[in-house]
Structure 1
């Protein structure tokens, strides 16, 4: 990849559609929050935490992810966590983000839903005012828990549904198919919420079919393994379903053995509506532009590919048509000037 494309990516207006806010918890923040909240960590240094980030699969990652979330106890913690992310996003040319949060990871520890939501929403307001970055909030159900727990979380969210854009499904994928949560997703859709779900990362293509047919998703999070099924791939193209792909996450969790094997270029060539995202950037080695740069270099993405990815990130968002049109015009203007 030429230096010109590196610079082009740096300034390209873009949105992030697959970001777990708890996954932006840097080791330094973990220590800071633990100290101010009196939480004892099983690590004696920042370096020890970083050393623990040697995952071999999704479950290894989740084990430390949930341990790290234990330092988040107050509205200020969630606010500060989110603002740190938004500052990094703005530095990467990010104009908009649709962030996931895992309320069950906190309410199960005795942290009220309101503490989590109020902290995140206050940061979202501040980011828009001070950084010009807009955002939407997506509540994720933890799929390793049961559907009754998901229904309880949806009930707890009711006072905030005017400020929550959608619901998603994350955590351990294998053995927890989308069909397990069909009723609660219908209930959420009936309340006017957008629907997304992690599918086809470690789970099989059948999980992507279920997400489409049983959950009626508006977009698919990850979706890599959909490429194993030609009929499924064609359907995703015809329906224009956005895939929120996370290159460095795929590498770190061994979904791909090497980034040169990443399917991003193939996805674009097939007409799939792929986007680039950072997933859990503190754990997976890079924020938004790190992912753009790494996958562009490894898979030889062209300038036109980059423009397509940027446009997909907005047309796949839950922004209004007018807002999307403004961002598309900004991308065209940037491309013309660069």
Structure 2
């Protein structure tokens, strides 16, 4: 199935670390890895929940050491994104995960920016989003934000990710207030493994303009009405949700329900190296396993540009590409 031109708004660059790259980088820097080969690593991707995924996700980041490593990672993702008809990507990275390993923040952002420049040559524009870990202290997130600002890091916004259950967003209110004061855009994970009330929390307490995941909003009709009226984008990741058992199957996914309610839902891949699918695979799964048709996929793709942080004129240009795709039958 051909995929509409789209924006990817929920993508963790560390989550694009394919098994072959893990092994190649590990060999290059000479660190031992507990995998016999790429297939051995793939066999370990049988997650039972978010935490079991995160444990492997953070362990594999040990191979990312230099600006070159980060540049290669970002460039590899953007090359794959171009194949998936992604025209624009807003890419999250986890600065704390690298600082904790002693990697200077300048090394990280220099490499990511170099990879983004290569992606632009392929026709994929991109923005960088610093995502803070909600299972780490809010004070640490503030320190990292200040370090990013001092370094002049080319970030467009900030986010909040990692384990949702037991880690409320409220302690991060000052961090998000500081980011807003610096002109940064705001998003946060909520309503993935946690309840609909977590979506309300990030909207009201953090003041985010976009919600990552947000699928549990479907459980609260009042929240659905609010999301529709305020046109809050939800960056939904169907294959990820199934893999981490947030939903039972693509057929049972609430995305079609939210789309029918005129919520600004979008399709994304989250951590594609771990969940077995890039954004085109997510569109294909929705087409194959739900009642969504070509017009619905076009609407989802248009939503992705509407929900992006692109200038309005550029978003409109790209939305016109979606309409051309819709009519090309």
Structure 1: any 5+ residue segments left out of the alignment? 1-5
Q: CA deviation at 1:336?
A: 2.8
CA distance in 2, matches of 1:330, 1:54: 37
Q: CA RMSD in A?
A: 1.0
CA shift, 1:330, in A, is: 1.6
SS at match of 2:63: coil
- For 1:267-286, list aligned pairs within 5 A: 267-286=258-277
The aligned counterpart of 2:244 is 253
1:9-60 CA-to-partner distances (Å, cap 9, x unmatched) read: 2xx2111000000000000000000011111112222121111111010000
Instruction: State the match for 2:97 in structure 1.
Output: 105
Structure 1 equivalent of residue 39 of structure 2 = 47
Q: What is the TM-score of this pair, normalised by structure 1?
A: 0.95
Q: 3-state SS of the aligned residue for 1:59?
A: helix
Q: 1:195 to 1:95 in 2, by over 3 A?
A: same
The question of whether the paired residues in 1 share the 8 Å contact of 2:268 and 2:282 is answered with: yes
C-alpha displacement at 1:160, in angstroms? 5.0
- Please state if 1:19 is matched with 2:11: yes
Structure 2: gaps of 5 or more residues: none
**Structure 2 matches for 1:1-338, cutoff 5 A?**
6-7=1-2, 9=3, 12-129=4-121, 131-159=122-150, 161=152, 163-338=154-329
Give the distance between the partners of 1:37 and 1:155, measured in 2 at CA.
Answer: 30
Relative to the length of structure 2, the TM-score reads 0.98
Deviation at 1:337, TM superposition (A): 3.1
- Take 1:261 and 1:270, find their aligned partners in 2: how far apart are those partners? 16
- Greater displacement, 86-95 / 157-166: 157-166
Give 3-state SS (helix, strand or coil) of 2:315's partner.
helix
Show CA shifts across 1:175-215 (max 9, x none). 11111211111111111100000000001111111100011
Deviations 1:78-124 (A, max 9, x none): 00011111011001111000000001000000000011100000111
- For the Cα contact (< 8 Å) 1:226–1:232, is it kept in 2? yes
